[in-house]
Amino acid sequence: MAFFILAGVGWAIIAQPSGEQILFRGSFIEDNFARFMKILVLAAAAFTILIASDYLRETKMDRYEFPVLILFAVLGMMLMISAGGLIALYLGLEIQSLALYVVAAIRRDSVRSAEAGLKYFVLGALSSGMLLYGASPIYGFTGAITFTKIAAAVQSGGEDSLGLIFGLVFLLAGIAFKISAVPFHMWTPDVYQGAPTPVTAFFAGAPKVAAMAMLIRVTLDAFPAITNQWQQIIVFISIASMVLGAFAAIGQTNIKRLMAYSSIGHMGFALVGLAAASQSGTRAVLIYLAIYVVMTLGTFACILGMRRQDGMVEDINELAGLAKNDLTLAFLLAMLFFSLAGIPPLAGFFAKFYVFLAAIEAELYTLAIIGVLASVIGAYYYLRIVKIIFFDEAAEPFKPMGRQLKFVLVASGIFVLAFVMVPTYLVEAADAAAKTFF
């Protein structure tokens, strides 16, 4: 039922006429950008529910609370994406976060799941406080809460206000926590490892898209007059995320922790496009997020397929010799890892190509060079897994995958392989969404 609700909402959004609609005195905005990002969030949530079904049944977690919490979280994300002011932004953020705190700890018989939920709750409360501390001086120095009025106030005389810059730094710090960008990434590896695997798959997709949409709207809608100020912050957290994601994942043996550091790195790459502060940069971010969601869902479908008679396994070495036991699964998983590494001609290569091209057009040469180097270093841990799959001695075979997992895995693999032939639809949709701000 939850899957069909999400599909129905997605269809309703697609059926809406193009253009901008503003509600509640500017607090809620429905435009091409919001529609694009909402479709991504809904797709990520729907396919997460699809791949979760077998796992939930096997672990006796098949309770109605899980899909209900997912739906509440998606409601919060959609409010975040359409937020046109600080209060609406915070409202959406809290609706999403409260549902995610519970869903992280939903496996009641697991100490690790409870620990993941507690860590996420404590650090999430800290980030919410930082965001509110940032919003307060912004309101105090501009006298406005909607982004259009904040932009007008900053344009008319707040460019050099130290208090405004102080508030902006705290606001961006609170949002950076939600996309797990360095240095606000500390919760990610522990929560990814401790939460049930379908929950980790959800965390890696939909909330990242919603938080990135919120970050784009805040920077480009509310603070276009002080681009030079927030651009420095975005460049710093982008470089830090790319570098940490590249190096910290090398020593990981748990595949969910590895995906956590991979996620941190990929958010760094996406921020390269935002740092360009241009239409092509924003378009690049949207393309990157769409491709990232597909690659991540496909990879987690494989991780959920790592099951034996005694339960789930998460150690990377358990993939040893997978090609000898199941060549199709091994091939699709290898393609997804090659794509995550950014190897041509797969979809992940084009995702990175667009963001680096936008950075070069904006003359951010150092950022682009560091991004390319981080991508090369990060390729090592993806290729190491491919080596384990194809060349190590075969381990005990996994149990056959369920139909839902196979469907998501095959669909992701086809997208990653075929994107080079038909990129036009996604690029055009992302371009139309990016024009909202320029």
* Two structure tokens written together for 208: 């990242």
- CA 291/CA 380 separation, integer angstroms: 20
- Indicate the average pLDDT of the chain: 88
Span 173-186, pLDDT tens digits: 999 998 888 888 88
Span 34-78, pLDDT tens digits: 999 999 999 999 999 888 887 888 777 777 888 899 999 999 999
Which residues are CB-neighbours of 218 under 8 A, at least 6 positions away? 89, 147, 171, 172, 175
Q: How many C-beta atoms surround the C-beta of residue 363 within 10 A?
A: 10
Domains of the chain: total? 1
What pTM did the predictor assign? 0.93
Span 171-220, pLDDT tens digits: 999 999 988 888 888 888 888 888 888 888 999 888 999 999 999 999 99
- CA 374/CA 31 separation, integer angstroms: 34
Predicted confidence (pLDDT) at residue 269 exceeds the cutoff of 90 = yes
What confidence tier does 159 reach under pLDDT thresholds 50, 70, 90?
A: low
Cis peptide before 400 (omega within 30 of 0): no
**Calculated CA dihedral for residues 356, 358, 363, 369, nearest 10 degrees:** 0
- CA 216/CA 438 separation, integer angstroms: 12
Long-range CB contact pairs, 399-405, < 8 A, 24+? 399/307, 399/308, 399/309, 401/301, 401/305, 401/329, 402/53, 402/54, 404/50, 404/51, 404/53, 404/54, 405/51, 405/54, 405/301, 405/304, 405/305
What confidence tier does 240 reach under pLDDT thresholds 50, 70, 90?
A: very high
| Residue 392: per-residue pLDDT | 78
* Two structure tokens written together for 118: 């507690």
Span 125-158, pLDDT tens digits: 888 899 999 999 989 888 888 898 988 888 887 5
Q: What is the mean pLDDT of residues 317-339?
A: 85
Predicted confidence (pLDDT) at residue 238 exceeds the cutoff of 90 = yes
| Residue 403: per-residue pLDDT | 83
| Closest alpha carbon to 370 in 189, 260, 236, 233 | 236
Q: Are 338 and 267 in contact (CB under 8 A)?
A: no
| Residue 394: per-residue pLDDT | 75
* CA–centroid distance for 332 within its chain: 22
Q: Which domain holds residue 51?
A: 2-437
| Residue 17: per-residue pLDDT | 82
| Residue 104: per-residue pLDDT | 86
25: left (phi over 0), alpha (psi -120 to 50) or beta: left
Q: How many C-beta atoms surround the C-beta of residue 21 within 10 A?
A: 12
| Closest alpha carbon to 307 in 67, 47, 59, 63 | 59
Residues counted in the chain: 438
Predicted confidence (pLDDT) at residue 290 exceeds the cutoff of 90 = yes
Name the 3-class secondary structure at 161. coil
**Gyration radius of the chain over CA positions:** 21
Q: Are 279 and 317 in contact (CB under 8 A)?
A: no
What share of the chain in percent tops pLDDT 90?
32
| Closest alpha carbon to 88 in 98, 76, 99 | 76
Which residues are CB-neighbours of 227 under 8 A, at least 6 positions away? 219, 277
